Amino acid sequence: MENQKSVIKVEKISKTYGAGESAVMAVKEASFEIFKGETVALLGPSGSGKTTLITMIGCITEPTGGKLFLDGKIIYDNGWKIHDTRQLRREKIGFIFQSHNLIPFLNVEENVTLVPIMNGLSDEIAKNKAKELLDYLGVGDKLHVKPSQLSGGQSQRVAIARSLANNPKIILADEPTAALDGERALSVMQLLKKLAKEQDVAIVVVTHDDRMIPLFDKIIRVNDGYITKE
- Residue 73 counted as domain residue: no
Q: What is the pTM of this model?
A: 0.86
Residue 7 has pLDDT above 80, yes or no: yes
Whether residue 162 lies inside any domain: the answer is yes
How do strand 202-207 and strand 65-70 relate by DSSP bridges?
unpaired
User: Bridge-partner residues for 70, per DSSP?
Assistant: 8, 73
Per-residue pLDDT reduced to its tens digit, 200-229 = 899 999 987 777 888 899 999 998 888 886
> Domain range holding 100?
36-62+78-229
Q: Can you tell me the distance from the alpha carbon of 214 to that of 126, in angstroms, rounded to the nearest whole number?
A: 35
Whether residue 45 lies inside any domain: the answer is yes
Q: What is the pLDDT of residue 2?
A: 47
Over residues 184-194, the pLDDT tens digits come to: 778 878 888 88
Q: Is residue 106 part of a domain?
A: yes
- What mean pLDDT value characterizes the chain? 88
179 belongs to a structural domain = yes
Question: Does the residue 122 lie in any domain?
Answer: yes
Q: Percent of the chain beyond pLDDT 70?
A: 97
**Averaged pLDDT for residues 156-163:** 89
Q: What is the pLDDT of residue 230?
A: 63
**pLDDT band at 15, cuts 50/70/90?**
very high
Task: Find the length of the chain.
Answer: 230
Q: Is residue 17 domain-resident? A: no
Total domains, the chain = 1
CATH of the domain at 145: 3.40.50.300
DSSP the chain: -TTSPEEEEEEEEEEEES-GGG-EEEEEEEEEEEETT-EEEEE--TTSSHHHHHHHHTTSSPPSEEEEEETTEEEEESSB-SS-HHHHHHHHEEEEETT----TTS-HHHHHHHHHHHTT--HHHHHHHHHHHHHHTT-GGGTT--GGGS-HHHHHHHHHHHHHTT--SEEEEESTTTTS-HHHHHHHHHHHHHHHHHHT-EEEEEE--GGGGGG-SEEEEEETTEEEE-
